[in-house]
A and B are shown apart, each in its own frame.
Chain A
């Protein structure tokens, strides 16, 4: 008996304190109809935030929000384009809004600009890890850039696992790093992974966290046909430009054309809240912190489906929120602390574009966040023999996950389907990765105890194809929390491991998120 006790590690103790019934209690409360789908800035969302704060408070965590509370305000700006216009010198035919182009501005409520000689910057990508730089030698400060949407070669950029270099937000940020005054993205059937019709969404409400005035004042999409017309008078046509842009040797091309751009925008300022609790570290590394995070928001009350209008979000993401609470509870009741501090964070407005987590990383003061573990859509289906993740080889967090999973006798499984569906960058871990903080997302496994081999895959299909983002994502009678508890045990073990390690987590040298590979970032 003495030996087995001596062999018990702090990780064993904290894992043993994970309570299945606590997980169930939290999931059932948060996914109850009374919480009305937990949409940001609704009473259901605020109730959820209060509930989480009360649990953090009960557990004796230190308030990590604003002015001594657990709630951290995240100011948001929503803008809707109410009128847009585009004129091109030498082209008397009109350009039709929505059909030919979409414009928006994230900075002003009304603007009209005339720009001379915009610069074609190929795909607008700067990726030293891949030996790629579309801005080399370009003079774009204060000028409008025109870039192709998407990336030139998925075998290089591997948009499935890595940074979504093809995404519009990345291109806007990159243009901003080069001091451009605006950016227009060319939609092509060859490189853009969605149809032109989807760009209409950019004319509807777009929400972002409130941030310092960016240099980019105007953003937009051009249809392939519109781009061809704009480039018509140049020495080379669009197809020729695209051909050069797909090579590393590409150099930017100034276009001798004058554009008249006009945008009227309705701007709405509002806010959401993160809930932040802190378990202070106990060593010299206490200024550094590991984040255990999950978003608590969901879609609220919407159009009824089969008579049900409440989007309960039981799997997405009452489950992850419950994991964060259960992890905090396990640390508290096992009396476990670590060398580094641990932030327990429930993020708001994830469903609106990872906004709560962006607000959190933008506001880190005092403590340096060295790593983040994200819980988004967890396993409510039963005990499994494996645990899922995506891109574990991007940083040393993958190895920490391996060790924790092994201690729980679980295999780590990367499901290509999760990779394909962009699970890496479609949740809050991505907000941390974007600013250079190693982060990892835990997912459900595929191999379930007492189930046939294909059962896990079927459940996953049913979840993502049928229940995901519908009112039927509610607590089912057959859900069990034993699988969730396995995941939380892995979570607390790896968190403790990371928080006690002599060195903070590191990016792999070849990871596109490695800040060394990203000029303009820390």
Chain B
């Protein structure tokens, strides 16, 4: 501090007007002011240029992006916080292309038709798996103590194949769960995780367009080709898949059960799982490819009693790479908004900390995640094998698609309602003169579960993901929605997601100033953020810090 005041003596007179005024500039304000739009634009321009070839996971372009990010961390003097003294946290990735058969077992055997009746994949990293087991209908397949709900109560599904519905009972009864707002219990990923916890050998999810929020063609489109996932240890599950509601209806009939009746019962309190008098035999042959891709991790050390703890500022750097056939002669998926912008924001946040000289209390960990587009794999791998112990990670601030559309009067984030981290965010927004908008539509679509912060929420780390405000300065009401819709329809996950001449850094700077303020607040807070009592992640959060 003495050194700083001494330095001020030789600065231009304009900075010396009032020593008192100078003292009122808080570290948070100094940090926010160090967010540099030029830095952010330079990084986006580079990462989204054709030379980076769309930053596909496991491709030359993806590797180049990782090297670039590591090089920037190194330049800034961040400590390497990946594997063995490097910035790279390697993520083992396995890609399987399934070739399944599924049949009713027993004297009355009958084959089901792949793609028409069902899709199925192996849950083991093996070229061929087989399972034959009786079916148990487990309703929505949910165990949620905070909603006093347990579909697995008093039933043993060990070594059985469970059949369940997706979404939550809230879909049919608005007094249950959060009504139509999708909680994590409704996601297909949750159903599989819970079935594994219960020791099941297989899971079949019954598809209806209403409960899944997408049609059967999306199911066949998403789960019949190559599937990329982390190379993780095996669970009890051997196979997992979807079954079409019409096909499930027939199957249930064979067992003397009525699917529609059971579906109605499943949404009622007191539902009990129903063993079916039917066995299925499943075989999945898979062709397997293995690779690794790095998360890039750099750290600014904290000081004081909480220095071992950390606040993560993250964003994924991967995009879709080069794909054929070209769209309008362009085959490079530049991913300028998705997510060169968020990656650039992570780098600019690191630069702001370094340039402002603001020292955090909890350490700040900057992570550029890989393989987000393949299903949040990079962040999931980090959460499973973190370089900072999970109990010491106080909060995660994720940036996925920054606002390059212009200045706003508001800001938003997924998860502000979930934990006290949301309060820190709201306070930071207020300090930047921005209101926090809640996006109801995103809640129903379950957007919270669709970016990297979620991998941390799942294991109990309070996390949120930055979103754009909707009220743009000097633009008519609804202009922002129109821009977002246009982006979603015409550029999202297409080669047209490039840097456009009219994009501006003004809005992204507003957003990043809020993020660095929130990060600093989470870093210096006496107690780490906690989940709100109604959050489905509270239990995981409490288990984590035990």
Closest to B41 in A: A57
Residue of A nearest to B37 (CB): A60
Within 8 A of B (CB), among A9-33: 19, 21-22, 24-26, 28-29, 32
Q: Give the docked Cα–Cα distance between A148 and B67 (Å).
A: 53
Which residues on the A side are within 8 Å of B9 (C-beta)? Answer: 2, 5
- List 5 A-B pairs, Cβ < 8 Å: A2-B6, A6-B10, A47-B64, A55-B42, A59-B38
Bound CA–CA A6/B46 (angstroms): 41
B7 pairs with A19, CB closer than 8 A: no
Complex partner residue of B49 from A50, A58, A333, CB under 8 angstroms? A50
Known contacts: A2-B9, A24-B74. The answer to whether A34 contacts B60 by CB under 8 A is yes
Partner of A57, one of B38, B64, B68, B74: B38
Interchain CB contact under 8 A, B51 and A21 = no
Per the bound structure, the CA–CA distance linking A50 and B44 in Å amounts to: 12
Residues of A within 8 A of B75 (CB): 19, 21-22, 25-26
- Which of B39, B42, B75 has the largest number of chain A CB atoms within 10 A? B75
> What residues on A are CB-neighbors of B43 within 8 Å?
54, 58
In the complex, B174 has a CB within 8 A of chain A: no
The A-contacting residues of B in range 1-18, CB under 8 angstroms, are: 6-7, 9-10
| Residue pair A54, B74 in contact (C-beta under 8 Å) | no
Which residues of B57-91 have CB atoms within 8 Å of chain A's CB atoms? 60, 63-64, 67-68, 71-72, 74-77
Nearest CB in chain B: distance from A322 CB, A: 10
Q: Tell whether, in the assembled complex, residue B51 and residue A57 are in contact, meaning their CB atoms are under 8 Å apart.
A: no
Q: Chain B contact residues: over half helix, strand or loop, or mixed?
A: helix
| 1/0 contact string of A35-69 vs chain B (CB within 8 Å) | 00000000100110011011101111000000000
B63 / chain A contacts, CB cutoff of 8 Å:
34
CB-CB under 8 A from B46, the residues of chain A are 50-51, 53-54
B71-A25 in contact (CB<8A): yes
Can you add 20 more A-B contacts, CB < 8 Å, to A2-B6, A6-B10, A58-B43? A5-B6, A5-B9, A5-B10, A21-B74, A21-B75, A22-B75, A24-B74, A25-B72, A25-B74, A28-B71, A32-B67, A34-B67, A47-B64, A54-B43, A54-B46, A55-B42, A57-B42, A58-B39, A58-B42, A59-B38
The reply to whether A34 and B64 form a contact with Cβ atoms under 8 Å apart is: yes
Shortest distance between the CB of A83 and any CB in chain B (Å): 39
A58 cross-chain contacts in B, Cβ below 8 A: 38-39, 42-43
B interface residue numbers (CB < 8 A to A): 6-7, 9-10, 38-39, 41-43, 45-46, 49, 51, 60, 63-64, 67-68, 71-72, 74-77, 355
Q: Is A8 an interface residue (CB 8 A)?
A: yes
Question: Residue of B at shortest CB range from A30?
Answer: B71
Asked if A1 CB lies within 8 Å of chain B CBs, one says yes
Q: How far in angstroms is the closest Cβ of chain B from A497?
A: 19
Query: B37 CB to closest chain A CB, in angstroms?
Result: 10
Q: Known: A1-B6, A34-B60, A58-B43. Is A29-B71 also a contact (CB below 8 A)?
A: yes
Chain B residues whose CB sits within 8 angstroms of the CB of A19 once the complex forms: 75, 77
Cα–Cα, bound, A53→B45 (Å) = 10
Which of A21, A34, A46, A333 meets B355, CB within 8 Å? A333
Q: Are A50 and B38 in contact (CB under 8 A)?
A: no
Which residue on B lies nearest to A27, using beta carbons? B71
B331 to nearest A CB, angstroms?
Answer: 15
Are B38 and A29 in contact, CB atoms less than 8 angstroms apart?
A: no
Shortest distance from the beta carbon of A25 to any chain B beta carbon, whole Å: 4
Nearest opposing residue in chain B for A49, CB measure: B51
The docked-state distance in angstroms from the alpha carbon of A60 to that of B46 is: 15
* Whole-angstrom distance between the Cβ of A308 and the nearest chain B Cβ: 18
CB-defined contacts of B38 to chain A, threshold 8 Å:
57-60
Closest to A20 in B: B77
By the criterion CB–CB under 8 Å, are A50 and B72 in contact? Answer: no
Q: Which of A28, A29, A47, A54 contacts B42 (CB 8 A)?
A: A54
Interface residues in chain A, defined as those with a beta carbon under 8 Å from any beta carbon in chain B: 1-2, 5-6, 8, 19, 21-22, 24-26, 28-29, 32, 34, 43, 46-47, 50-51, 53-55, 57-60, 333
Instruction: List B contacts of A54 (CB < 8 A).
Output: 42-43, 45-46
In the complex, A58 Cα to B354 Cα: how many Å? Answer: 15
Q: How far is the CB of B189 from chain A (nearest CB, A)?
A: 34
Contact at A29–B39, with CB atoms within 8 Å?
no
A312 → B minimal CB distance (Å) = 13
Give chain B residues whose Cβ lies under 8 Å from the Cβ of A57.
Answer: 38, 41-42, 45
Contact B74 A50 (CB under 8 A): no
A1: B residues at CB distance < 8 A: 6
A21 and B68 within 8 A (CB): no
A21 touches B77 (CB 8 A): yes
In angstroms, how far is the closest chain B Cβ from the Cβ of A61?
Answer: 10
Which listed residue (B7, B39, B45, B67) contacts A5, Cβ 8 A? B7
State in angstroms the CA–CA spacing of A21 and B7 once bound together: 24
User: Which residues of the partner chain A approach B71 to less than 8 Å between Cβ atoms?
Assistant: 25-26, 28-29
* Contact between chains at A8 and B10 (CB < 8 Å): yes
Q: Which residue of B lies closest to A54 (CB)?
A: B46
Does A46 lie within 8 Å of B51, measured CB to CB?
A: yes
Residues of B within 8 A of A46 (CB): 51
User: How far is A47 from B9 in the complex, measured between Cα atoms in Å?
Assistant: 43
Output the least CB separation between B136 and chain A (Å): 52
Determine if B77 and A29 form an interchain contact, defined as CB atoms under 8 angstroms apart: no
B68–A43 CB distance below 8 A: no
Roughly how many angstroms separate A57 CA and B42 CA in the complex, as a whole number? 5
CA distance A21 to B355 in the complex (A): 15
Chain A residues whose C-beta falls within 8 Å of the C-beta of B60 in the assembled complex: 34
Chain A residue nearest to B46 (CB atoms) is A54
Q: Which of A2, A6, A29, A43 contacts B67 (CB 8 A)?
A: A29
Q: Which of B41, B45, B51, B72 contacts A47 (CB 8 A)?
A: B51
Q: Nearest-CB distance from A401 to chain B (Å)?
A: 27
Residues of chain A lying within 8 A (CB to CB) of residue B45: 54, 57
Bound CA span A46–B68, Å: 15
Return A149 CB to nearest CB of chain B, in Å. Answer: 43
CA distance A53 to B75 in the complex (A): 16
Task: Give Cα A471 to B63, complex, Å.
Answer: 21
CB-CB under 8 A from B51, the residues of chain A are: 43, 46-47, 50
Cross-chain contact of A29 among B49, B68, B355 (Cβ < 8 A):
B68
In angstroms, Cα B6 to Cα A8, docked, is 12
What is the minimal beta-carbon distance from A34 to any residue of chain B, in angstroms?
A: 5
Instruction: State in angstroms the CA–CA spacing of A58 and B72 once bound together.
Output: 11
* Ranked 4 nearest A-B pairs via Cβ: A58-B42, A54-B46, A57-B42, A25-B75
- Quick one: closest A residue to B347, CB to CB? A58
Chain A residue contacts of B355, Cβ below 8 A: 333
Question: How many Å from the CB of B419 to the closest CB on chain A?
Answer: 34
- Kindly report which residue of chain A lies nearest to residue B7, judged by CB atoms: A5
Interchain CA distance A51-B71 in the complex, whole Å: 11
Interchain nearest-CB distance for B546 vs A (Å): 39
Chain A nearest CB from B351 CB (Å) reads 8
What residue in chain B is nearest A333 (Cβ atoms)?
A: B355
B7 and A51 contacting across the interface, CB-CB below 8 Å: no
Nearest-CB residue, chain A, relative to B3: A1
Q: How far is the CB of A55 from chain B (nearest CB, A)?
A: 7
Residues of B within 8 A of A8 (CB): 10
Which chain A residues lie closer than 8 Å to B64 at the CB level? 34, 47
Q: Which residue of A lies closest to B40 (CB)?
A: A58
A19 to B42, CA, bound (A): 20
Q: Which residues of B contact A34 (CB under 8 A)?
A: 60, 63-64, 67
- Nearest residue in A to B72 (C-beta to C-beta)? A25
Give the Cβ gap from A411 to chain B, nearest Cβ, in Å.
30
CB-CB nearest in chain B for A23: B75
| Cα separation A261 to B49 with both chains bound (whole Å) | 50
Nearest CB of chain B from residue A317's CB, rounded to whole Å: 18
- C-alpha gap A55/B46 in the complex (Å): 9
Contacting residues, chain B, for A43 (C-beta < 8 A): 51
Contact with A28, one of B6, B41, B74, B76 (Cβ below 8 angstroms): B74
Bound complex: CA A51 to CA B51 (Å): 10
A442 to B160, CA, bound (A): 75
